[in-house]
Amino acid sequence: MRLIRKNTVLHCLLITCLISVFLNLSPATVFAGGGENGAKNVILFIGDGMGWAQVVVARNFVHGAGGELNMERLEHSGYVSTFSLQSLITDSAAAATAMATGHKTVNGVIGQSVHGEEYKTILEIARDMGKSTGLVTTTEVTHATPAAFAAHEDSRERSGAIAEDYLRSSRPDVIMGGGLQVWTAVPLKEARDMGYKVVFTKEELERLDAANTDKLLGLFDTGRMSFAMDRRMDEPSLIDMSLKALGILSKNQEGFFLLIEGGLIDHAGHNNDNRAVLYDTIAFDETVGAVTEWLKTNSLSDKTLVIVTSDHETGGLAVTGPKNYLPKRGDKVEIKWVSGHHTAVDVPIWAQGPGAEKVNGRMDNTEIFGLMRDAIETAAVVERP
């Protein structure tokens, strides 16, 4: 019996060595979980404040009643519950923390428990695996949603501390959005000293050569950026920022993690602004289309898990008409708002790529973290101790 066991072990070691030589790996290198359902890259889209009604409003305007938005064309779909640890109605800090870490926390807290225990985020996991990482948003770059992926603070209001967390702890390779007022002279100098190229306008971003840029900090407004319908000529669009981020991050042979937030859908909801919620939802969806097309063009679709979802719904938006008429492309539907605040309704989720088949029916927002982590860990090549 011992001889059989010894021969079996030797036989397995021989096979491992032969496979390693064939794959040009060292004998100590093994695949974790194979790679059949693994993702080299993860792109998470969050339409902040985007519920089902916001999607319906945009869909009808762009395509008419029978059409589909870009996000609705992704292969798998479901819906997500959003409650926080102690409240049926979440805020962006708690909801984003749930997606980033897999843990519920209380409203207002970033990347940690109510007792101060720091939760490791999907961005930090990707970074530790050697992947490049990025945050792109139309709000301030230190706003609650991006902050939950790269900072650990007891209050979302601690913007200066969140900026310091970015530079001194999580170190995303790409950070783009608004919020220049938070980055006083000292953090900007620190960012430059760390190798970040810093840009402030659309023109500067366009001139930037992604091939020669490894770290980028883009700050395009003192506070949040403009609504899509009001965007200034010197301000890049969400598409502009996202594609530049992809050009930088995708150079890493180990892969990347990228968060893309359409953050002003939420602001439009708080304001009960019909036009702003329409055009910012459309701009968010157009970014989904541009990014998925970029992945296809660059032969990365089958290596990239793409998830599109929301942190919560804002405004209690309802589509109430038109009655006895099907809207055609360009028609605006009739809507009503019931609140100027967040609501507790479930939000949509769509996904495609390796691991996306797990998006099916109801999910909790904490499950999105596990979906992303499992996808990149399945595809990872790890070293034996």
Q: Which of 81, 84, 87, 92 is catalytic?
A: 92
Taking 3-state DSSP, the helix, strand and coil percentages for the chain, each rounded to the nearest 5, stand at: 40, 20, 40
Distance CA 118, CA 191 (A): 24
Contact 343, 316 (CB under 8 A): yes
Q: What is the DSSP string of 231-285?
A: --TTS--HHHHHHHHHHHHTT-TT-EEEEEEETHHHHHHHTT-HHHHHHHHHHHH
β-pair type (313-314, 381-383): unpaired
Query: Interior CA angle at 369 toward 32 and 358, to 5°?
Result: 75
Number of residues that make up the chain: 385
Per-residue burial over 338-365, b if 16 or more Cβ lie within 10 Å, else e, is eeeebbebbbbbbbbbbbbebbeeebbb
Cα dihedral 180→184→185→190 (10° resolution): -90
Task: Outline where 119-210 has alpha helix (H).
Answer: 122-128, 144-150, 159-165, 185-193, 202-207
* Both structure tokens of 175: 């950070």
β-pair type (381-383, 29-31): antiparallel
Contact 42, 377 (CB under 8 A): no
Distance CA 143, CA 161 (A): 12
Q: Which residues pair with residue 382 across a beta bridge?
A: 30
Distance CA 204, CA 199 (A): 6
Diameter of the chain by CA atoms?
A: 81
E strand or H helix at 47: strand 41-47
Contact 106, 114 (CB under 8 A): yes
| Catalytic-residue membership of 159 | no
Residues labelled as active-site residues? 92
